[in-house]
C-alpha cells in the first residue's frame, strides 16, 4: 500500500454532510466543532474562509478547502459579513444531543434554480488514530484546491439526490466525500512541490519510486541500502545520495521512521501482540523491535500502548459516538 493510501485507510466520513446548504448573501457560517479535518466544496457562488489567526482565503466555484484543527473558524460571503451578517449559522459536525438533526432552516436549503446563491457541500472527519495524525501533520492549517467545475455540477446533482433521504443516500454521500477527499489531497500534493511530504516527492521521482513502492509494499522485508538501490536500478552510492537529497534523510533512517510510525498505529489502534507487530514492521523478534522502538520513541512499546490508551479514554475524541450528524443552528 502506498503511503497516501495508508494514511487515508482509516479516515472515513460517517453521517457528516450538510444536505441543505444553499445560501443567499449576506450569510456567515461559524464552525464550532472539534472535528480535526473539515472539507468544504464550493459548488456555486463564492465565499471567504476566516481562521482564528486572521488568515483569509477566498474560495470560488470549483474550489475545495481543507481546514485542519479543531478550533472555531468562519465561512462567509465576504469577510466584513462575519460581524454584520443578519443571519449567522452555527455548524457542529459531531454533536450529540437533540439538536443534532437534519432540519431545514430559513436561508439554508437545496434549490438548483437559485443561481445567485452559494451552494456548499461540507464534510467533517473523525480522528482515526495515529495514521490520521500523521496525515494532519503533513497538511497546512488550510489548503484550497481548484477542481473541475464540470465535476462540481455532477457532485451537486448527486448531493441533491442524497438530500431526499432515499434508501442508501447517506452511504452514497459519505463515500462521495471520501472520494472527494482523496482527489483533493492528491491534487494538492501534486501542486505543493517542495512543500509536499518527502514520501510523496519520492514517489514522483523516477529513480526513487520503484524502491519506495517496493518498501511500502513489503515493509517486513530485511531492506538494506543495497537492496533498495537494486530496486531502483542504480548504484548504492548514487541511490543513497539522491535519496538523502530529495527525502531529507538517509534511506535506512526513512525505513526506520516508517516502521516506527506503523508500529505506533498498530500499538494504538489494534490489540495485536508485541511480537506480531515486530514481525509486521520488519523485526525478527520482539526484543530487537522493543529496543529500536524505545530508541526512536523514548519509551517501550508496552508503555506507549498504555499511554495511548489512557489518552484515548480522556481525550476530546473519546466522547464521539453514534451517527455524527451535522447540526446546523440558525443564530439571529
Per-residue model confidence as pLDDT tens digits over 121-146: 887 776 656 667 777 777 888 889 88
Q: What percent of the chain shows pLDDT beyond 90?
A: 26
- Which tens digits make up the pLDDT trace of 203-215? 889 999 999 999 9
pLDDT at 214: 92
Indicate the pLDDT class of residue 319, thresholds 50, 70 and 90: very low
pLDDT at 93 over 80: no
- Which tens digits make up the pLDDT trace of 2-28? 777 777 766 666 655 554 567 777 888
* Residues 213-225, mean pLDDT to the nearest whole number: 92
pLDDT at 242: 95
pTM: 0.71
pLDDT at 233 over 80: yes
d(CA 174, CA 143): 21
Task: Supply the mean pLDDT for the chain.
Answer: 76
Coil, strand or helix: which one is 30?
Answer: strand
**What spatial distance separates the first Cα and last Cα of the chain, rounded to whole Å?**
49
Give the CA angle between residues 190, 10, 321 to the nearest 5°: 130
Alpha carbon 16 to chain centroid distance? 14
pLDDT at 251 over 60: yes
- Helix axes of 225-232 and 208-217: crossing angle, nearest 10 degrees: 120
Indicate the pLDDT class of residue 80, thresholds 50, 70 and 90: confident
The lowest-confidence range among 31-40, 95-104, 204-213 is 95-104
Give alpha helix (H) positions in 193-224. Answer: 198-203, 208-217
pLDDT at 51 over 50: yes
The lowest-confidence range among 41-55, 81-95, 186-200, 229-243 is 81-95
**Residue with the larger pLDDT of the pair 217 and 160:** 217
Coil, strand or helix: which one is 66?
Answer: strand
pLDDT at 90: 62
pLDDT at 168 over 80: no
Residue 60 is placed in which grid cell? 470560488
pLDDT at 33: 67
pLDDT at 325: 36
pLDDT at 29: 83
Amino acid at each position: 500500500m502506498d503511503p497516501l493510501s495508508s494514511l487515508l485507510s482509516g479516515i472515513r466520513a460517517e453521517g457528516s454532510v450538510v444536505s441543505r446548504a444553499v445560501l443567499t448573501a449576506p450569510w456567515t457560517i461559524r464552525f464550532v466543532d472539534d472535528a480535526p479535518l473539515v472539507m468544504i466544496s464550493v459548488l456555486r457562488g463564492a465565499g471567504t474562509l476566516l481562521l482564528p489567526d486572521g488568515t483569509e482565503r477566498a474560495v470560488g466555484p470549483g474550489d475545495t478547502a481543507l481546514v485542519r484543527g479543531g478550533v472555531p473558524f468562519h465561512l462567509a460571503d465576504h469577510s466584513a459579513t462575519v460581524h454584520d451578517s443578519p443571519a449567522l449559522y452555527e455548524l457542529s459536525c459531531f454533536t450529540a444531543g437533540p439538536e443534532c438533526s437534519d432540519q431545514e432552516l430559513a436561508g439554508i436549503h437545496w434549490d438548483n434554480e437559485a443561481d445567485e446563491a452559494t451552494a456548499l457541500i461540507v464534510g467533517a472527519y473523525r480522528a482515526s488514530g495515529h495514521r490520521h495524525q500523521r496525515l494532519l501533520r503533513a497538511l497546512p492549517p488550510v489548503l484550497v484546491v481548484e477542481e473541475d467545475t464540470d465535476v462540481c455540477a455532477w457532485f451537486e446533482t448527486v448531493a441533491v439526490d442524497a438530500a431526499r433521504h432515499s434508501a442508501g443516500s447517506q452511504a452514497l454521500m459519505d463515500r462521495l466525500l471520501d472520494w472527494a477527499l482523496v482527489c483533493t489531497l492528491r491534487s494538492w500534493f501534486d501542486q505543493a512541490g517542495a512543500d509536499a511530504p518527502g514520501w510523496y516527492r519520492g514517489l514522483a521521482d523516477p529513480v526513487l519510486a520503484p524502491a519506495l513502492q517496493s518498501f511500502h509494499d513489503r515493509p517486513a522485508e530485511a531492506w538494506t541500502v543495497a537492496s533498495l538501490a537494486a530496486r531502483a536500478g542504480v548504484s548504492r552510492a548514487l541511490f543513497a545520495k539522491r535519496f538523502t537529497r530529495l527525502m531529507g534523510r538517509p534511506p535506512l533512517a526513512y525505513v526506520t521512521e516508517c516502521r516506527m510510525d506503523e508500529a505506533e498505529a498498530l500499538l494504538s489502534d489494534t490489540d495485536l501482540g508485541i511480537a506480531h507487530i515486530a514481525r509486521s514492521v520488519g523485526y525478527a523478534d520482539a526484543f530487537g523491535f522493543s529496543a529500536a522502538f524505545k530508541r526512536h520513541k523514548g519509551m517501550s512499546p508496552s508503555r506507549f500502548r498504555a499511554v495511548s490508551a489512557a489518552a484515548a479514554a480522556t481525550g476530546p475524541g473519546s466522547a464521539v459516538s453514534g451517527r455524527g450528524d451535522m447540526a446546523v443552528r440558525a443564530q439571529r
